[in-house]
Structure 1
Amino acid sequence: MPPARAACIVGSVSSPAAQVDPLEHFRSRRYLGLLVLAAVLGAPIAALAYAFLSLTSSLQRWVFTDLPSALGIDPSALWWPLVPVPLAGLVVGLAIRYLPGKGGESPADGMHTGGVARPAALPGIAIAAIASVGLGAVVGPEAPLIALGGGLSYLAVWLRRRDLPTQEGAVIAVIGSFAAVSTLLGSPLTGAFLLMEAAGLGGVTASLVLVPGLLGAGVGALIFVGLGSLTGHGTFSLAIPDIPGTSAPTAAELVWAVAVGLVAAPCCLAIRWLALRVRALVFPRVVLLTPVAGFAVAALAVLFAWSTGKPASDVLFSGQTALPQLVDDNAAYAVGALLLLIACKGLAYVVSLGSFRGGPTFPAMFIGAAVGIALSHLPGLAAIPGVAIGIGAFTAGMLRLPLTSVLLTSLFLGQDGITLMPLTIIAVVVSYVLTQRLTPAPRPSATADAATTRR
């Protein structure tokens, strides 16, 4: 039996027999085959994901440091971002316009599972993501990694079995997605929560998919650690190695958690609304206007650097690398610099979501942390609790994944994250519930159109 056939057990979960004895699937030889497949696929998918992250990181360093130096230009020259970011827009625009798959899912739609990336779409997804993440757009690598990991996993099995059913292909893709983001979000468990919550899986189906997915993620995490040690590039994991300890939450901080949650929800809705407007403007002339969008992102970074003396990289990129430094050096940022950082990063985030390709997670975390640090200059809120509240509230508002938001914030802050988890939970719940309440219900015609498209 080909290993891909093991995945077909998931398709039978909804059958009467599965409802009578769902554990029968866990005891079957087919499920054992699925676990073996997860272990086999996890290693190469994780290695390719590591290569992707290493490439984008090296590209950032080469374009923004090595290249200007080689050209006799000071790497700290304020105007330099005006060169690579519009170039990224041109590459992304061409990929969206001419390559299959339109460069992947638009981040303006939020974090969701967009189905299995077909083999023909993989080059376009990779090119658009490398240009976006590597050349300065304010998007993260997590969404392209999920798509590429799932697509490569599907491709590996599809090459052996061209008549692979849709249900089987979807499960195979999930294994690859788990492996691809195994350590990027701080822990394999965080990636698992994100994928399961975004897919909306529950009950027996969630358990059947989660176990092989976790196995793939566990193998992937080992590959990330091993390659990080061999190459010296690290594991690209989002975490702060050493931050000062904090005390248990206070009553004033609980009030701040509610307040920030109430503010984060409309802010996140505004960001998404504006991003959708930008996308509607750019998409009809994507090759012409995506470079213009890149110029706007770079101009915002230049404005921030010129006004504050801080690096333009605080505004550019996803914030994955800059976020730990922002938290560690929060005392070095005056309130005015923080407010300008929030404004410039937020607007660059809007333009990038509507024009480029990537994920929405890390910029939301960075903006939330900056908001928390800025509010810590007011009475009743210390910096690290403010960071926890801000990250949780803005991540929940943008991703609309409350469990993932709590776990992501807690793991990012290490031991402090565990101590401050009550604050994080309150901020996440308030932001998530208010976001859902303020989100307009979909029009019946739009819902019907979407259902017809899926069929």
Structure 2
Amino acid sequence: MQVTPAPDATGAPSVRQLLVLSIPALVIGAVSALVLWLVDLLAEQLHGVLWTALPAVFGADASTPWWILVVLTATGAAVGLVVQFVPGHAGADSATTELSAPPLPILVVPGLLLAVVLSLAGGVSLGPENPIIAVNTAIAVAALARLAKAVPQQLVVLLATAATIGALFGTPVAAALVLTGTVAAVKAGGALWDKLFLPLAAAGAGAVTMHLLGGASLAFTVQPMNGVEPVFLLMGLLVAAVSALAGILAAWLLPLVHRAFHSLRHPLLYTTLGGLALGILGMIGGPMTLFKGLEQTGELIEHPERYGTGQLVLFAGIKIIALVVAAAAGFRGGRIFPAVFIGVAIGLLGYALIPGIPMSLAIACGALGIVLAATKDGWIAIFVGIALVGDPLVLPLLCVIVLPVWLLVTKAPELVVHPSERPGAVAPPATS
């Protein structure tokens, strides 16, 4: 029996159809946020054990170099055991996936959740976005396949993705910007907002639920600009270009490092080795260069006076290498949150070195450059820059600065490993 009425003759959904489908959209939004919150909660509890309770037993603390090395190496071994032996092998290699991917079998979810919790708690330089979207998509598809078979699987995937993005960034605007290109490409009638209606409902429910649960926010307090001057465009472009080049460097290195790690073939070997490498990097860069980077980003923005130019260069450099190693060595996680930390460090470096550039503009441009290089999405890059600083005067400047930076990154490699770049892959035959 048909659950929802068919679209009208133009292909546009009817008002009744949108209202009826809003119910699963809102449920998916709330459940997706709950899953993200629970994962964050579990990771936080394990973080307390690994970085507070246990080191105290041995007379160390979270900043003790040898303890950083031990925890990261052990985390690598633990994730390797999950990837190699747990059913489903913790899903697809995160280095090879985009934010949205085909739904996983539900049996893969426990192993993927375990791998991402271990990575988040253990200090790995990856965020939760890719695996949590995969988990929420698998749960939503499995649940609605039984409860509401008339809802197309493609729509369920879109709603779960939107819901998780809304929960991750604390606003449905992020999901709308990320998915605008996707829904606009759908060959169906109706206005763009007809297609965005249900994803926005899911994203809004996810964002509101996450706020009600007390989830972390991407927004911070920054001194706003007093006005706009033409020279700010050149200043901001310089910062954004340097940040974008850092992202391009990471994208160029990722497949090379990925091939080197995966040539070992056994996940237990290459994730343990990756954990050891991350531990050495953590010993050099300190706790600020560990973890997904959201709390550390807030620390940089709220207390910039604590960090000199040398420290900012160190933080950005170590985090770039740590991001590449973590993504290449088989850990499960996303690349946006650590990229934001790198961009903020570069932005504050620009603020320290370029006389007269406003701090909010420097931070926003630093985030914009590397996020644009990492995602190849101008909307999400602009959104992240504005969300970090909350300064409306920065918005028109970013909308201009993003254009030349896009020319810089558009033909550059993506921050993802494609099938032809994996070990043992055979390149497709050349065509004449």
Tell me if TM exceeds 0.5: yes
Moved more, 365-374 or 421-430: 421-430
RMSD: 2.9
Q: Give me the whole-angstrom Cα distance separating, in 1, the residues matched to 2:47 and 2:383.
A: 28
Moved more, 282-291 or 261-270: 261-270
Q: SS in structure 2 opposite 1:262?
A: helix
Residue of structure 2 equivalent to 1:257: 236
Gaps of 5+ in 1: 13-17, 229-234, 305-311
Q: SS in structure 2 opposite 1:184?
A: helix
Q: SS in structure 1 opposite 2:14?
A: helix
Q: Give me the whole-angstrom Cα distance separating, in 2, the residues matched to 1:199 and 1:132.
A: 32
Residue of structure 1 equivalent to 2:408: 434
Is 1:226 the counterpart of 2:201 in the alignment?
no
Question: CA distance change for structure 1 residues 421 and 276 in 2, over 3 Å: closer, same or farther?
Answer: same
Is 1:269 the counterpart of 2:228 in the alignment?
no
| 8 Å Cα contact 2:175-2:200 kept in structure 1 | no
Residue of structure 1 equivalent to 2:171: 187
Deviation at 1:299, TM superposition (A): 1.0
| Residue of 387, 394, 402 corresponding to 2:370 | 394
| Residue of 345, 351, 354 corresponding to 1:376 | 351
Residue of structure 1 equivalent to 2:296: 322
| 8 Å Cα contact 1:376-1:386 kept in structure 2 | yes
Residue of structure 1 equivalent to 2:125: 138
Question: CA distance change for structure 1 residues 226 and 262 in 2, over 3 Å: closer, same or farther?
Answer: closer
Q: State the Cα deviation string for residues 214-234 of structure 1 (Å, max 9, x = none).
A: 212222233223322xxxxxx
Amino acid paired to 2:112: I
| Residue of 303, 318, 323 corresponding to 2:284 | 303
Residue of structure 1 equivalent to 2:10: 21
Q: SS in structure 2 opposite 1:437?
A: coil
| 8 Å Cα contact 2:239-2:362 kept in structure 1 | no
Residue of structure 2 equivalent to 1:307: none
Question: CA distance change for structure 1 residues 124 and 74 in 2, over 3 Å: closer, same or farther?
Answer: closer
Is 1:46 the counterpart of 2:21 in the alignment?
no
Count of aligned pairs: 414
Q: Give me the whole-angstrom Cα distance separating, in 2, the residues matched to 1:274 and 1:411.
A: 29
| 8 Å Cα contact 1:197-1:401 kept in structure 2 | no
Q: SS in structure 1 opposite 2:22?
A: helix
Is 1:291 the counterpart of 2:246 in the alignment?
no
| 8 Å Cα contact 2:97-2:130 kept in structure 1 | no
Question: CA distance change for structure 1 residues 84 and 170 in 2, over 3 Å: closer, same or farther?
Answer: farther
TM-score by length of 2: 0.86
Amino acid paired to 1:402: G
Q: Whose helix fraction is larger, Structure 1's or Structure 2's? A: 1
Amino acid paired to 1:367: I
Q: SS in structure 2 opposite 1:430?
A: helix
Residue of structure 2 equivalent to 1:58: 45
| 8 Å Cα contact 1:183-1:236 kept in structure 2 | no
Q: SS in structure 1 opposite 2:294?
A: coil
Q: Give me the whole-angstrom Cα distance separating, in 2, the residues matched to 1:197 and 1:323.
A: 29
Residue of structure 1 equivalent to 2:115: 128
Deviation at 1:327, TM superposition (A): 1.0
Gaps of 5+ in 2: none
Is 1:213 the counterpart of 2:199 in the alignment?
yes
| Residue of 109, 119, 134 corresponding to 1:147 | 134
Amino acid paired to 1:22: G
Deviation at 1:203, TM superposition (A): 6.8
Amino acid paired to 2:206: G
Question: CA distance change for structure 1 residues 148 and 387 in 2, over 3 Å: closer, same or farther?
Answer: same
Question: CA distance change for structure 1 residues 134 and 429 in 2, over 3 Å: closer, same or farther?
Answer: farther
Q: Give me the whole-angstrom Cα distance separating, in 2, the residues matched to 1:60 and 1:258.
A: 38
| Residue of 231, 234, 237 corresponding to 2:217 | 237
Is 1:332 the counterpart of 2:306 in the alignment?
yes
Q: SS in structure 1 opposite 2:290?
A: coil
| 8 Å Cα contact 1:278-1:354 kept in structure 2 | yes
| 8 Å Cα contact 2:62-2:287 kept in structure 1 | no
Question: CA distance change for structure 1 residues 446 and 69 in 2, over 3 Å: closer, same or farther?
Answer: closer
Q: Aligned runs of 1:162-173 on 2, under 5 Å?
A: 168-173=152-157
Question: CA distance change for structure 1 residues 238 and 265 in 2, over 3 Å: closer, same or farther?
Answer: closer
Amino acid paired to 1:413: V
Question: CA distance change for structure 1 residues 202 and 160 in 2, over 3 Å: closer, same or farther?
Answer: closer
Q: Give me the whole-angstrom Cα distance separating, in 2, the residues matched to 1:431 and 1:370.
A: 18
| 8 Å Cα contact 2:62-2:68 kept in structure 1 | no
